[in-house]
C-alpha cells in the first residue's frame, strides 16, 4: 500500500540521518562499523552464491573483523587524497583513483590473506607452522593474480 511505502521511506530517511550524524561526530567508529557490517553481509551472500552447504560463521567474522579494522585506515587515506587533490573533475579524479588503487590494493590484499590465515591459527583450527607455510605459498602463488583482478574490478567501480 501507499501508506506502507511512505512509512518505509520515512524509516530509511531516519536511518540516513542517524548515519550522517554518526559519520560527522564519530567518523572512524562509523567507518569501522560500516565496514564490518558491509563485509559480513557481503561474505554471507558470497558463501550462499558459491553454493556452500553450510554457512561458515568463523570465515564470516574473520572477514568482517578485518574490514572493520581496515575501514578507518581507508577513511583516512581517502581524506588525504581529497586534501591533496580536491574536486571531482576528471583530470583530478583519474590520478586520485589510480594512486588509491596502487597503494590500497598493494597493501590490502596481502594484509587480508595474512589476517585470515593468522586468525585461523589463533582460533586453533590450524597450527602456526602450517599457517606460516600456507601463507607464504598463498602470497607467492595468488598475490599477482589477486592484485591484477582487484585492479581490473575496482578501477571501473
The radius of gyration of the chain's CA atoms, rounded to the nearest angstrom, is 19
Tell me the percentage of the chain whose pLDDT exceeds 70.
Answer: 96
Q: Mean of the pLDDT values across residues 62-77?
A: 95
Instruction: Indicate the DSSP class of residue 89.
Output: -
- What are the pLDDT digits (tens) for 133-153? 888 888 888 878 877 777 776
Those residues with Cβ within 8 angstroms of residue 79's Cβ, 6 or more apart along the chain or in another chain:
none
The CB-side HSE value for 156 (13 A sphere, CA atoms) comes to: 3
105-41-116 Cα angle (round to 5): 50
Q: Is 116 exposed, middle or buried (0-12, 13-18, 19+ CB in 10 A)?
A: middle
* Predicted TM-score of the model (pTM): 0.78
Position with higher pLDDT, 43 vs 129: 43
Contact 72, 31 (CB under 8 A): yes
Q: Above 70 in pLDDT, residue 107?
A: yes
Check: CB of residue 39 under 8 Å from CB of residue 64: yes
The Cα–Cα gap between 34 and 93 comes to 24
Give 112-135 pLDDT, tens digit per residue.
Answer: 888 988 888 888 777 888 888 888
- H helical segments located in 26-105: 27-49, 57-84, 90-100
Amino acid at each position: 500500500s501507499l501508506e506502507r511505502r511512505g512509512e518505509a521511506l520515512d524509516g530509511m530517511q531516519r536511518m540516513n540521518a542517524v548515519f550522517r550524524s554518526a559519520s560527522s561526530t564519530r567518523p572512524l567508529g562509523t567507518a569501522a562499523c560500516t565496514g564490518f557490517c558491509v563485509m559480513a553481509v557481503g561474505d554471507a551472500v558470497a558463501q550462499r552464491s558459491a553454493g556452500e552447504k553450510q554457512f561458515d560463521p568463523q570465515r564470516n567474522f574473520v572477514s568482517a573483523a578485518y574490514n572493520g579494522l581496515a575501514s578507518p585506515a581507508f577513511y583516512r587515506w581517502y581524506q588525504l587524497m581529497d586534501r591533496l587533490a580536491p574536486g571531482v573533475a576528471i583530470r583530478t579524479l583519474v590520478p586520485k583513483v589510480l594512486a588509491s588503487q596502487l597503494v590500497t590494493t598493494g597493501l590490502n590484499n596481502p594484509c587480508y590473506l595474512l589476517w585470515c590465515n593468522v586468525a585461523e591459527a589463533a582460533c586453533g583450527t590450524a597450527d602456526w607452522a602450517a599457517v606460516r607455510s600456507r601463507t607464504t605459498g598463498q602470497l607467492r602463488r595468488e598475490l599477482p593474480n589477486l592484485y591484477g583482478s582487484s585492479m581490473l574490478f575496482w578501477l571501473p567501480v
